[in-house]
Amino acid sequence: MGILEKIADIEHEIGRTQKNKATEHHLGLLKGKLAKYRAELLEPKSSGAKGEGFDVLKSGDSRVALIGFPSVGKSTLLSLLTGTKSEAANYEFTTLTCIPGKFMYKGANIQILDLPGIIQGASEGKGRGRQVISVARTADMILMMLDSTKSHAQRKLLEAELEAVGIRLNKKIPEIYFKVKKGGGISYNPIVKQSQLTEKLVFEILHQYKIFNAEVLVRDDVTIDDFIDVIVGNRKYLPCLYVYNKIDQITIEEVDKIAREDHTIVISAEGDLNMETLKEQIWVHLNLLRVYTKKQSGLILRSGATVETACHSIHRTLAENFRYALVWGTSTKHNPQRVGLTHPLENEDVIQIVKK
């Protein structure tokens, strides 16, 4: 039996198993097996993962990948946002390679990649699914484009395709420490009470992966899927903005309903509707922050950046010659405040560095 058939079998079995406390263990093992076959499917031996026309150089402060079914308006949006022409037409698979464009927002240079549409089964290699997905993994965020005139099921279908290849959307990395050891058996240590994981299940899943010596430390109440993700590894946790296009084709009531969902915005690429909000939401989902120095116009950093990160982005040796910094903004109690290298910065802070 081929891997695809094995995957289909397990998916079928999971589908027909009722989900309750009694079947949780059985389902957990099935999920473990499923993740294992999917990982095998994605191994590089079935090459062509990159492919001609998909090897685009990373540039700018951040990279956004446009993912969606065919003809939802990805290329129309790229052309509008960036001025780079990417052919748009009313037939499917107009775009066949990866087309990069860029736009500036709040001082950040944001690269955005137009990609071919993906279809159901993309994760298993249908269409250009493999190539598109491997580009998506290199991005800092996913812009999932949807056609607001079509059924809401499309969003679930796309999410499932990305899930199947290990991309996790708007999810934080599970609080699990996992390390394979040379000997000593498996030590399983849940620091907080687990509602799904049991010692037995942890052992059995690890055995499926032929792991007999390991340390597992669980710092949060995690799901079985979280645990499998950590074991399989190679997961990509990315922010995702859901962009519903073609709102010129639906009623105000429908627009209003869609716009209320989390991480969601509504636009019309052809009608140039809501582009400023879209840019702002891309900025928010990229977790960028901008700080100002006296000399540089603005520095683009990632959320969680400290004074030290800022030093590094100004000059290679600045942190070594650092005495203290003065910071004005929301990250301080008084303005200015004298701070050290570990001080966390916030958006729109102003910083002045005093050298030794």
Ligand X SMILES: Nc1nc2c(ncn2[C@@H]2O[C@H](COP(=O)(O)OP(=O)(O)OP(=O)(O)O)[C@@H](O)[C@H]2O)c(=O)[nH]1
Question: Which strand ranges, in their side-by-side order, compose the sheet holding 240-245?
Answer: 99-105, 108-114, 62-68, 141-147, 240-245, 264-266
245 touches, from ligand X, K ion, Mg ion, none (C-beta below 5 to 8 Å by class): ligand X
Pick one of 75, 123, 245, 309: the residue that binds Mg ion (CB under 5 A): 75
From its phi and psi, is residue 348 left (phi > 0), alpha (psi between -120 and 50) or beta? left
246 sits near ligand X (criterion: CB under 6 A)? yes
Kind of pairing between the strands at 214-218 and 176-180: antiparallel
CA distances from 325 to 117, 307, 340, 346 (A): 48, 8, 6, 14
Instruction: Give yes or no for residue 248 binding ligand X (CB under 6 A).
Output: yes
Contact call for residue 89 and ligand X (CB under 6 A): yes
Contact 285, 239 (CB under 8 A): yes
Using the minimum distance from each CB to ligand X, give the nearer residue, 123 or 268. Answer: 268
Q: Which two tokens stand for residue 76?
A: 């129309």
What span, in angstroms and rounded, lies between the C-alpha atoms of 171 and 196? 18
Q: How many chain residues interact with ligand X (CB under 6 A)?
A: 25
CA 125 to chain centre: 20
Q: Does 132 interact with ligand X (rule: CB under 6 A)?
A: no
Smallest distance from the beta carbon of 130 to ligand X, in angstroms? 16
Cβ proximity to K ion: between 70 and 336 the closer is 70
Give residues 65-84 in contact with ligand X (rule: CB under 6 A). 68, 70-76
Choosing from 269, 286, 311, 353, the residue that interacts with ligand X (CB under 6 A) is 269
Minimum CB distance to Mg ion, residue 93 (Å):
8
Q: Which is nearer to ligand X, 107 or 121 (CB)?
A: 121
Question: Site residues for K ion, window 79-98 (CB under 5 A)?
Answer: 94
Question: CB pairs under 8 A, 24+ apart, for 46-50?
Answer: 46/125, 48/130, 48/131, 49/130, 49/131, 49/134, 50/131, 50/134
88 in contact with ligand X (CB under 6 A): yes
Identity of residue 91: Y
Place of tokens 């992966």: 209
The answer to the question of residue 268 lying near ligand X (CB under 6 A) is yes
Q: Which of residues 157-216 bind ligand X (CB under 6 A)?
A: none
Contact 241, 263 (CB under 8 A): yes
CB of 132 to ligand X, least distance (A): 10
Among all residues, whose Cβ is closest to Mg ion?
95
- From the centroid of its chain, how far is CA 50? 19
Output the smallest distance, CB 268 to Mg ion, in A: 16
Residue nearest to ligand X (CB): 117
Q: Which of 62, 71, 309, 331 binds K ion (CB under 5 A)?
A: 71
Q: Does 254 bind ligand X (CB under 6 A)?
A: no
Stretch that binds ligand X, among 136-144, 215-223, 229-237, 267-275 (CB under 6 A): 267-275
How far apart (Å, rounded) are the C-alpha atoms in residues 303 and 280?
15
Neighbouring C-beta atoms of residue 73, cutoff 10 Å: 22
Task: Tell me: does residue 34 bind ligand X (CB under 6 A).
Answer: no
At its nearest, how many Å lie between K ion and the CB of residue 89? 5
* Minimum CB distance to ligand X, residue 254 (Å): 14
What's the half-sphere exposure (Cβ side, CA atoms, 13 Å) at 35?
A: 25
Q: Report the alpha-carbon distance of residue 75 to residue 69 in Å, rounded.
A: 12
Structural contact between residues 143 and 64, judged by C-beta atoms closer than 8 angstroms: yes
If one asks whether residue 84 binds Mg ion (CB under 5 A), the answer comes out as no
Q: Which is nearer to ligand X, 80 or 345 (CB)?
A: 80
Residues in contact with K ion by CB under 5 A are 71, 94
Residues in contact with Mg ion by CB under 5 A are 74-75, 94-95
Residues in contact with ligand X by CB under 6 A are 68, 70-76, 88-90, 92-95, 116-117, 245-246, 248-249, 268-271
